[in-house]
Amino acid sequence: MWVEHFDAIVVGAGFGGLGAALRLSERGARVRLSEALTYPGGCASTFTRGGRRYEAGATLFSGLGPDQLFGRWARRFEMVYDVEWLDPLVTLRGPFGELPVLRDRGAFIDRLCGLPGAPVDALRAFFDAQRKVADTLWSLFDSPESLPPWSASALARHALAALRYAPLAMLVGRPLAQVLGYSRLRTFAPFDAWARALCQITVQCSPDEVEAPFALAALDYPWRGTGHVRGGIGRLATALVGALERTGGQARFADRVTSIVRGPSGWRVKSRRGEATAAVVVCNAAPGVVRRLAALEDDSARELLRLEGRVETGWGASMQYLTLAPAEADEAPHHIECVADTALPFEEGNHIFVSIGDPDARGRRSATVSTHVRPVPSEPPAEYFARIQAAMTRTLSLRAPEVAARVEARMTGSPRTFERFTGRPGGFVGGVPRRAGLHNYYTLSPTTLAEGLYLVGDAVFPGQSTLATALGGHRAADAAAAAIEQASGRRLQPAQ
């Protein structure tokens, strides 16, 4: 049987895999990207049912600014997609009323400080301190070279920034609720609800649990090139596939990989569409999937089991995919975050995120409603998810009645549904919850499972978002490119 050879095979077309494949192809490697689904994006994808497009999960994305990663890629690779810079980005609604999260950070803080009972001095002190942390950490996302493995020039830049990093040492290993006077602000309901909701969505746990540096950076998410991709995030994922193909790479869909086997001169990968070999393999898949595909031993197997266990301490998603009747007046795509009761955990239908997309030719819109759920509930699954769906519907009717009144069709989804639409085993969302502890910093370089085998995605550094996974893919690609050059004895040359 004829076996094709590549420099690199990338398994999975989530944003980590897309970032890795594009970077390798840009550097001159011969790359194949294999994806089990028929469309790219993974957990951040857009699927079609009944002729309508729905966001599978996440719906707001950072890094889209002209000087950020996706913006730079758009210019460099002539990618075509449209971003709508919504203002407000999100409107948070709860028992305290309505809080628009404005695109201008200062205007948002002024809005908070202008609310009745606002502890103005404490709020401004918190946001001043939070911004210093966010500016330091987000600067690492402005350039992939800022992340490990570091070049000499990157190390020099980090050395010059050492004084900026020093204050972070006081935050490491501590939960957000214990730092920067956060506890004094918890009695101010609008701020507390905003922080709890944003932490739950971005770092998958509450302020009482979350590692402070990650949380303080995540609280700046709305102001870091965050926008709505018109037509769904699948447009951006598809644009990245186009960029990969224009640089000489291959993308194969409906091509599920079934095994990854180490051979005498690299790796042998079997997939639905045949076999191929490569010097390196980059896996953008859940740790448990990679463990089963590659049958690794010793330390690599233990590392995958450790990561698999951490992912399983996280969350699944219960979804509602809605079709909305046309609005009486013109409306832009928008996002509403709803909390029924701030005294309860922000999960299981008490807290929902509602994303209303672009209109079709008849003015109807698709909407995705999501909430965090326990993938392995303590009660019978059918009863549990029926209860969650009922809670989601109640919260939507309570906090967004104008949306609930327009629902023409509702398609419900459990973690199993999310798994089917995204390829994510168990329906787990968001990778590893960033609970406080030094374990968050044990592995900061690309995760190398074996010589020439790399793991990328939201289960490994730098984290959960599409921007973070794409950056992680980029850095893993640089390490993989060095391995290709060493294995082949040749220097990679970018295509002209």
Q: Where are the domains of the chain?
A: 4-49+62-82+230-312+430-488, 101-223, 315-421
Whether the CB-CB separation of 123 and 113 falls below 8 Å is answered with yes
Alpha-carbon gap, residue 59 to 37, rounded angstroms: 19
Interval 405-437: pLDDT, tens: 999 999 998 888 878 877 877 777 877 889 999
Measured between its terminal Cα atoms, the distance across the chain in Å is 33
pLDDT at res. 338: 98
Interval 294-314: pLDDT, tens: 988 788 888 888 888 888 888
Tell me the residue ranges of DSSP E strands in 325-400: 334-339, 351-359, 365-373
Has residue 460 got a pLDDT over 60?
A: yes
Has residue 334 got a pLDDT over 80?
A: yes
Alpha-carbon gap, residue 186 to 104, rounded angstroms: 23
Average pLDDT over every residue of 93-109: 97
Residue predicted with more confidence, 44 or 441: 44
Alpha-carbon gap, residue 296 to 208, rounded angstroms: 36
Residue with token string 């350039």: 143
Has residue 155 got a pLDDT over 60?
A: no
Average pLDDT over every residue of 81-105: 96
pTM comes to: 0.93
The rounded percent of the chain whose pLDDT value lies above 90 is: 65
Strand partners, 274: 271
pLDDT at res. 149: 64
pLDDT at res. 381: 85
Distances (CA, A) of 448 to 230, 281, 286: 36, 10, 15
At 395, which helix (H) or strand (E)? helix 381-399
Average pLDDT over every residue of 393-402: 97
Has residue 331 got a pLDDT over 90?
A: no
| Max CA pair span of the chain | 74
**Rounded to the nearest 10 degrees, what angle do helices 466-488 and 15-26 cross at?**
40
Residue predicted with more confidence, 422 or 17: 17
Q: What are phi and psi of 34, to 5 degrees?
A: -115, 130
Interval 466-491: pLDDT, tens: 999 999 999 999 999 999 999 888 99
CATH architecture of 4-49+62-82+230-312+430-488: 3-Layer(bba) Sandwich (3.50)
Question: How many alpha carbons fall within 13 Å on the CB side of residue 320?
Answer: 29
Residue 187's pLDDT band, with cuts at 50, 70 and 90, is: very high
Average pLDDT over every residue of 325-339: 87
Alpha-carbon gap, residue 301 to 291, rounded angstroms: 7
Average pLDDT over every residue of 235-259: 97
Alpha-carbon gap, residue 7 to 172, rounded angstroms: 39
Both tokens assigned to 254: 């409906």
**Rounded to the nearest 10 degrees, what angle do helices 120-142 and 466-488 cross at?**
20
Residue 463's pLDDT band, with cuts at 50, 70 and 90, is: confident
Alpha-carbon gap, residue 236 to 20, rounded angstroms: 15
Both tokens assigned to 306: 């450790």
pLDDT at res. 341: 98
Has residue 150 got a pLDDT over 70?
A: no
Tell me the residue ranges of DSSP E strands in 12-140: 31-34, 46-49, 52-55, 83-84, 90-94, 97-101
- Give the closest residue to 321 by CA, choosing from 374, 389, 400, 405: 389
Average pLDDT of the chain, as a whole number = 90
Both tokens assigned to 423: 């390829």
Average pLDDT over every residue of 150-155: 59
The rounded percent of the chain whose pLDDT value lies above 70 is: 95
pLDDT at res. 148: 67
Whether the CB-CB separation of 113 and 105 falls below 8 Å is answered with no
Name 107's Cβ contacts closer than 8 Å, sequence gap at least 6.
none
Alpha-carbon gap, residue 278 to 5, rounded angstroms: 6
pLDDT at res. 158: 53
Whether the CB-CB separation of 483 and 8 falls below 8 Å is answered with no
pLDDT at res. 455: 95
For residue 462, cis peptide bond before it (omega within 30 degrees of 0): yes
Q: Where are the alpha helices (DSSP H) in 95-119?
A: 105-113
Both tokens assigned to 374: 């326990």
Has residue 265 got a pLDDT over 90?
A: no
What letters, b where the CB count within 10 A reaches 16 and e where it falls short, cover 254-291? Answer: ebebeebebeeebbbbbbeeeebbbbbbbbbbbbbbbb
CB atoms inside a 10 Å sphere around CB 347: 18
Has residue 316 got a pLDDT over 90?
A: no
Q: What is the dihedral of CA 149, 155, 157, 158, to 10 degrees?
A: 80
pLDDT at res. 133: 92
pLDDT at res. 247: 96
Has residue 2 got a pLDDT over 70?
A: no
